[in-house]
Amino acid sequence: MLTAALYVPHCCVSRYAKLNDPALWLSINRTSGQIVTIATLDRESTYVKNNVYEATFLAIDNGSPPASATGTLQIYLIDINDNPPVLVPREAQLCERVNRNTNGVNITAADSDTDPNAGPFVFELPNYPASIRRNWTISRISGDYARLGLRYQVYLESGVYEVPILVSDSGNPPLSNRSIIKVKVCPCDRNGDCTTLGAVAAAGLGTGAIISILICIIILLCEYLSQFKDQKTKNTSATPEADVNFQKILRKYEVFLLALSF
């Protein structure tokens, strides 16, 4: 609780009033000018700039018309550890068959508090469910960063895996948070990007959906071959009409594949 007073020679003031208190944290006694807090002050509030909360008050005399003076109160807020860290990012992608020593996801945390109530952070895998520690590993990179990866010789099928991670800050006492990171495990191309079919598989559509997509691709090829055959029958060049039609078909199935992969 904070108590302050707006001082003006008593002979001249008839009353005190609040002019600006953006977070509505303070109250002033209209007779004595005593200022008290009426709510919990929060250093992380958007109304606090550089740890300082500012409010202004008026001292009004009894003249006619009344004149007033403005007083500004600046409150310096000391940080307490009242915010647990939050994992960043919440979604990631891993290639299922890349060198496990280099394949991983860099993770860090965001904490609204300031040092020493924020980093360095501690990242841990929970004991339950048991499959988490059996399949995944976390290695420390620096104070604020760690690397999440698959354990050596662990092979997971393409899909989206929800991996819980415990993140703790350096406060005293520290605050912890259990965050979930969604990791999409998929087959990748040479550039380390999920292949289209891999993305579909990772999206958890299953074998049936993949078979449907393969059927679509076969239909696409059949349509193209049919167009090509027609052109040949008419004894005309395969371009540009066939190319235009092929582009239309491609776009049609591209939209379909994209819709499935998301």
Cβ-proximal residues to 181 (8 Å cutoff; 6+ apart), any chain: 87, 89, 90, 91, 92, 105, 107, 148, 162, 163, 165
**8-state DSSP, 43:** T
- CA nearest to 59, candidates 22, 9, 95: 9
Nearer CB in complex with Ca ion: 81/179: 81
Give the H/E segment covering residue 177: strand 176-186
Between 83 and 261, name the residue whose CB sits nearer to Ca ion.
83
Within residues 190-249, the interface with Ca ion by CB under 5 A covers none
From 101-109, 113-121, 124-132, 176-184, span contacting Ca ion (CB under 5 A): 113-121
User: Where in 6-45 is the site for Ca ion (CB under 5 A)?
Assistant: 43
Applying CB under 5 A, among 94, 96, 168, 169 the residue interacting with Ca ion is 169
Instruction: With contacts defined by CB under 5 A, name the span among 143-151, 165-173, 213-221, 242-250 that binds Ca ion.
Output: 165-173
Take residue 243 and report the two structure tokens written for it: 């190319």
Q: In this complex, which beta carbon is closest to Ca ion, that of residue 81 or of residue 93?
A: 81
Q: Which is nearer to Ca ion, 79 or 124 (CB)?
A: 79
Rounded least distance, CB 2 to Ca ion, Å: 17
DSSP per residue over 182-233, as a string? Answer: EEEEE-B-TTSPBPHHHHHHHTT-HHHHHHHHHHHHHHHHHHHHHHHHHHHH
CB of 115 to Ca ion, least distance (A): 10
Which pair of structure tokens corresponds to residue 28?
Answer: 């002033």
Residue with nearest beta carbon to Ca ion: 113
Going residue by residue from 70 to 89, which x/- string records binding to Ca ion, judged by CB under 5 A?
---------x-xxx------
Closest to 119 in 3D by CA, of 139, 138, 143, 142? 143
Nearest distance from C-beta of residue 119 to Ca ion, angstroms = 9
User: 50 or 101: whose CB is closer to Ca ion?
Assistant: 50
Helices 241-261/206-233 angle, 10° precision? 180
User: Is 96 one of the binding residues for Ca ion (CB under 5 A)?
Assistant: no
Does 168 sit near Ca ion (CB under 5 A)? no
Copy the structure tokens of residue 115.
């040092």
Between CA 71 and CA 56 the distance in angstroms is 6
Q: Which stretch binds Ca ion (CB under 5 A): 105-113, 185-193, 228-236, 253-261?
A: 105-113
117 binds Ca ion (CB under 5 A): yes
The minimum distance between CB 82 and Ca ion, in angstroms, equals: 5
Residues that bind Ca ion (CB under 5 A): 43, 79, 81-83, 111, 113, 117, 169
